[in-house]
Structure 1
Amino acid sequence: MNDLLQIDRDVSAKLRSMKIGVQGSFYPAPPDMPKEDITEWQIRRLAALGCTAHQIGFGVLPDDEGKLLAIKALADSLGVELELTAPGAFGVSGPYADAEARQRFLKAVGQARLLGVPVVRTGYGRLNVSTSRFNRSMNVREHLDSLVPALREAGHIAADAGVGLAVENHCDFTGREMGYLLDQTDLANVGAALDTANGFTVFCDPQDDIEALAPYAFTTHMKDMAVVDMPVRGYIPMTAQGCGLGEGHVDLSRAIDLLARHSPRADGLHLLIEPGWMAWDPNRDQWEQEYEYFAQGIRYLQALLDEKANGSEERP
């Protein structure tokens, strides 16, 4: 009984340590704002909403080292831990080697080192069939094996910079297939960036992805989607579309349970809110709806974490 009580206390501590944030690429900044000012604006605004993590949007970081250090100082002063996307990981070597992709990856990892980012995230799938399990030119296992050399080298590059590398299930493979890729890569600093709803895009139950990838998860995208009737005849009769957290068919409560118990980086794990493929109300301002979506998501996750942490502590 004492051992079980200690386990519950450990889980409660991990739940309380988790950091809530957003995927910055989807958080709208004023249209006249210079690109290099967006990150600082987002950090301030989201910290005021209670966020303690932030994924910097793609392509908005300045090249100037002094400005990068200023962003780091601001985030540190507000208690916000940063996360960064490192595109090009699967082009650093191997059969898909690409010099420009390698340079993009090296640049992002260098920026992550300056910013003190603990984990950079990457992805293979580029939202098309050819970079997915449905590429008919090779079977799934061959496809996964072909990615190992690049991911392994990218992992070594990230390790040299002192950061972890997390691979998102990015509309390409199922969670169990991604687990196979990570096992074959076999590097301690390479794990998963679990997206809780992307399983829908490869016709996989997201709950299965969550169970498969929680033991590898270095970071997350907390996303919910609802299965709805397809209004257009001639298509598959049901489809999934984005919705507010807790309003769809992804069991986010169960996801947090599994992450707290099995993630190798459960302490301080980033729970980053990202919208799915949303159907915004055409009769309302879209930006207003997007701001509401994120604010409600932050409140939802904080309430869920509080409820679970208190429940773990109170369990006899």
Structure 2
Amino acid sequence: MNHRQQPANLPLDRRDFLHRATLGALALSLPELPDLAKSVPMGVVVHSYGNRWNSKAGSQQYPGFADAIDLLNHCHELGAGGVQVVMSNWTGDFAKKVRDRREKLGLYLEGSISVPKTPDDVPRFEQDVANAKEAGANILRTVCSAGRRYETYHSADAFQTLKKQAMTSLLLAEPVLRKHKVKLGVENHKDWRADELANMLKQTGSEWIGATVDFGNSIALLEDPITVVQTLAPYVISTHIKDMAVEEYPDGFLLSEVPLGQGILDLPTMISRCRQHNPAVTFSLEMITRDPLEIPCLKPDYWQTFGDVPGSELARTLAMVKHHKPASSLPRVAKLTDEERLALEEKNIVDCLAYSKRQLAIR
């Protein structure tokens, strides 16, 4: 049977064997492929422009982006290689306009999309997928949770319900993805630890469903970033590249995106791991300009869904936080004016794009 035509209930051992065999072949050919991987500059995830996307601030220097075309135009001006943008409820006409603009600018396009929760959601999902493909996006990203694990789910049962719903959603999505030949990456969105997500991806048994590997999110779940990338890289379809800084606080630690090269992540190693498994993978910047997030890992409620996580993970994470104490406090933006926040957001993104070309060879 042709692997590309196998159903979602393919036996796991054979699917995993084929997957690993393919990856092994790719790894052997890596010396011939780096130039291909490096030929696409780093792109920008729409969430990097959380302050500017649909902004009502009325700034003359940093006008809000109304839609994907505005984002494409601006990121092209910055020298980015592409964008990853929300694609829910697009019309066919708008998808064609995005396609025409994307083709003229020569940028890659990836979509952010919601998966179906029930069979009744499948027609909506299929329309979103069809519009995404019409626009030129063959790679989509999704989230299979309602929020950060430690903030949204407060019992083991609640988290188990989430896992069942996530699997249902992916199995509903898979035939649509296979039909349209579009790949979907599930992000480690401060919800799944890496082994949990990897196991879920194995269970789908589909080449059309993999991972959107976020480089920094899983620190919030007490995971080592390199281990996360090593675990998920065999399934990598797309990425959220970022750098992170940490700081102690009484209930655990603070976690913040910072411009590339100013944080604690070993970005060259993480990029290399992803390229080894998918030489054509794009690297899309998610530099969110906001106040640090509180990770309350010393409070009992944090642990309600982490029954199998050993205390050594907490000890290692807290030691890492102590070791990487920042020279100054993590950046805060809540007290800035709208104009100051927009200016800082733009500077952070421009600095990251420059760093990616200068230091990371993503160009």
Deviations 1:36-71 (A, max 9, x none): 843212211111211121112465x752x2232111
Could you say which residue in structure 1 is the equivalent of 2:248?
229
Change (3 A) 1:191 1:202: same
Change (3 A) 1:168 1:12: same
State the aligned residue count: 288
Instruction: Specify the SS of the correspondent of 1:220.
Output: strand
CA distance in structure 1 between the partners assigned to 2:31 and 2:109 by the alignment: 27
Could you say which residue in structure 2 is the equivalent of 1:271?
283
Cα shift at 1:103: 4.9
Q: TM-score, normalised by structure 1?
A: 0.80
CA distance in structure 1 between the partners assigned to 2:233 and 2:259 by the alignment: 22
Gaps of 5+ in 2: 1-27, 292-331
Cα shift at 1:85: 1.1
Change (3 A) 1:133 1:191: farther
Could you say which residue in structure 2 is the equivalent of 1:162?
181
Gaps of 5+ in 1: 1-5, 94-98, 310-316
Alignment partner of 1:251 out of 266, 291, 300: 266
Could you say which residue in structure 2 is the equivalent of 1:303?
358
Cα shift at 1:135: 4.1
Change (3 A) 1:125 1:62: closer
Could you say which residue in structure 2 is the equivalent of 1:122?
142
Deviations 1:109-153 (A, max 9, x none): 12112112111111112214489887411676x864663343122
Cα shift at 1:243: 1.2
Percent of aligned positions with the same letter in both sequences?
A: 21
Alignment partner of 1:74 out of 101, 107, 110: 101
Change (3 A) 1:212 1:135: farther
The residue correspondences of 1:32-181 to structure 2 (distance < 5 A) are 37-57=66-86, 62-63=90-91, 65-87=92-114, 89=115, 91-93=117-119, 99=120, 101-129=121-149, 135-137=155-157, 144=163, 147-181=166-200
Change (3 A) 1:143 1:150: same
Provide the alpha-carbon RMSD of the alignment: 3.1
Cα shift at 1:248: 1.5
- Find out whether 1:183 has 2:202 as its counterpart: yes
